[in-house]
Amino acid sequence: MYGDAASLTYTDRGGNVGGFVQATDTDVASTQWGFVAPSRFLGNKAHFYGGSLRFQIRILSGSVSNTGALSEVVRICSNSSFCVSWHPVVLPLGSGWQTFGVSLVESSFSSSGATPGATLQQVLTSISELRIRGEYVPVGVDVAGLDNVMLVPPTQRISSSIEVAGLEDYTLFGDGTGLQRVVSGGNPGGYVVGQDQNVAGTAWGFALPSKFLGDLTMFYGGLLTFDMLVVSGTPAALPTGASDYLVRICSGATNCMVYRPSFTLSTSGWNSIAVSLEDGDFVSTVAGVTLKQVLAAVTSIQIRGEVASGSGNRAGLDSVLLTALAPTTAGKTSELGG
């Protein structure tokens, strides 16, 4: 543990699946707490670059806050001062176990610690500490559980970082307009941007290029990650109605799976978002259809761009990545036994 955490315990049931570890916050003012990974996650992990770090969090007591910028959620160090951190704006925590992941690429992390200029590739060659945040309840004593921490090496990947000239074959859907490539200011490099035409009752967004279509069965259980930027407008909580979604994956016109988190993006830079490609994280638009079935013949993947209110709101998209789950990992917390 780190920070003001106390009472680290291992419970042999109630995890996802099997056992899990949990800790309690002692509510020291201005002190964040969390979990420190065991020794199996340390040392030379350079071969995991391009893969992902996955973990599951469950809030066992306390009232979760899903709005407002978070400080670091993951911190990886090769010594006490040479570190990189992942700090998404929000993690959409709800009831039960929630799966999260971060792509182990430079654009997902920023240098932290006393020594500036650290890169993820450098840190992965000699990891001395890996931390995962446990505190998501802003006020009072809280308890959180952690399970299924995995370092997943790169396997099959499909990526689009908008690094080359042109728009690939990105398009806009809904009442989106003004699709263009911005040559700098992305995360990193260039990015694509679109704008709302303010048609009542119509949301807009980005349709991913053809490289993300077809048989994507191998990506089931993996991750879809992307970065979003609120260019103009006032960020608003994402709607969760029957016709709303942040991500929609379709096989044909009607067989679709949608991902509906509930959080508000930040205006203070790029928002890194990770979506677990599992049936439990998606809702079917047609009874009986599963994500596995849809991934076998994907005809479209859409990412909502209307993440802010205001006339002509604009948003940017960058670093879209599909990562398959590899069969070998650096360890699972449910296997630790204490």
Query: How is residue 6 written in tokens?
Result: 């106390």
Q: List pLDDT tens digits, range 29-65.
A: 778 889 999 999 999 998 888 888 988 889 888 777 6
> With contact defined as beta carbons under 8 Å apart, do 316 and 228 qualify?
yes
Q: Helix, strand, or coil here: 120?
A: helix
Q: What is the pLDDT of residues 165-223, one digit of tens each?
A: 456 789 999 999 999 988 888 877 789 999 999 898 899 999 999 889 999 998 898 88
**CA-CA-CA-CA torsion sign (284, 272, 333, 35):** negative
Question: Per-residue pLDDT tens for 66-95?
Answer: 544 567 899 999 987 899 999 876 666 667
Nearest to 78 by CA among 45, 104, 40, 109: 45
What integer pLDDT is reported at residue 194 of this predicted model?
Answer: 95
| Residues found in the chain | 338
Instruction: Please list the residues that pair with 145 across neighbouring strands.
Output: 22, 58
**How far is the C-alpha of 270 from the C-alpha of 277, rounded, in Å?**
22
Q: In this prediction, what percent of the chain has a pLDDT beyond 70?
A: 88
Listed in sequence order, the residues at least 6 apart from 47 whose beta carbon sits closer than 8 Å to its beta carbon are 153
Distances (CA, A) of 320 to 18, 76, 129, 133, 262: 33, 23, 28, 24, 20
Q: How far is CA 226 from CA 168, 200, 223, 246, 325, in A?
A: 16, 27, 10, 11, 17
How many CA within 13 A on the CB side of residue 32?
A: 15
Percent of the chain with pLDDT over 90: 36
Say if residues 63 and 137 touch (Cβ distance below 8 Å). yes
Structure tokens that stand for 325 in this block: 């789950």
What are the CA-CA distances from residue 271 to residues 112, 129, 132, 302, 312 (Å)?
A: 18, 25, 18, 17, 20
Residue 234 neighbours by CB distance under 10 Å: 11
Higher pLDDT, 67 or 22: 22
Sketch out the chain's domains with CATH numbers: 5-153 (2.60.120), 157-323 (2.60.120.260)
Whether residue 328 has pLDDT greater than 50: no
Residues contacting residue 208 through CB under 8 Å, at least 6 positions apart: 160, 170, 300, 301, 302, 303, 320
Mean pLDDT of 102-112: 86
Q: Are strands 283-284 and 191-196 parallel, antiparallel or unpaired?
A: unpaired
Q: Taking CA 26 as the corner, what is the angle to CA 22 and CA 28, rounded to the nearest 5 degrees?
A: 135
Q: Whole-prediction pTM value?
A: 0.66
Q: Which of 205, 201, 244 is nearest to 226 (CA)?
A: 205
Q: Which two tokens stand for residue 35?
A: 């979990």
> Is the pLDDT at 5 greater than 50, yes or no?
yes
**Helix (H), strand (E) counts: the chain:** 2, 22
DSSP 3-state of 132: strand
* Backbone region of residue 336 per phi and psi (left: phi > 0; alpha: psi in -120 to 50; beta: other values): alpha
Q: What is the dihedral of CA 1, 12, 74, 127, to 10 degrees?
A: 80
Q: Does residue 98 contact residue 92 with C-beta atoms inside 8 Å?
A: yes
Q: Report the C-alpha gap between 323 and 302 in whole angstroms.
A: 17
Strand partners, 283: 258
What pLDDT was estimated at residue 17? 72
> How high is the mean pLDDT of the chain?
84
- Beta bridge partners, 131, equal 36, 75
- The type of residue at 46 is A
Residue type for position 325: L
Radius of gyration of the chain (CA): 20
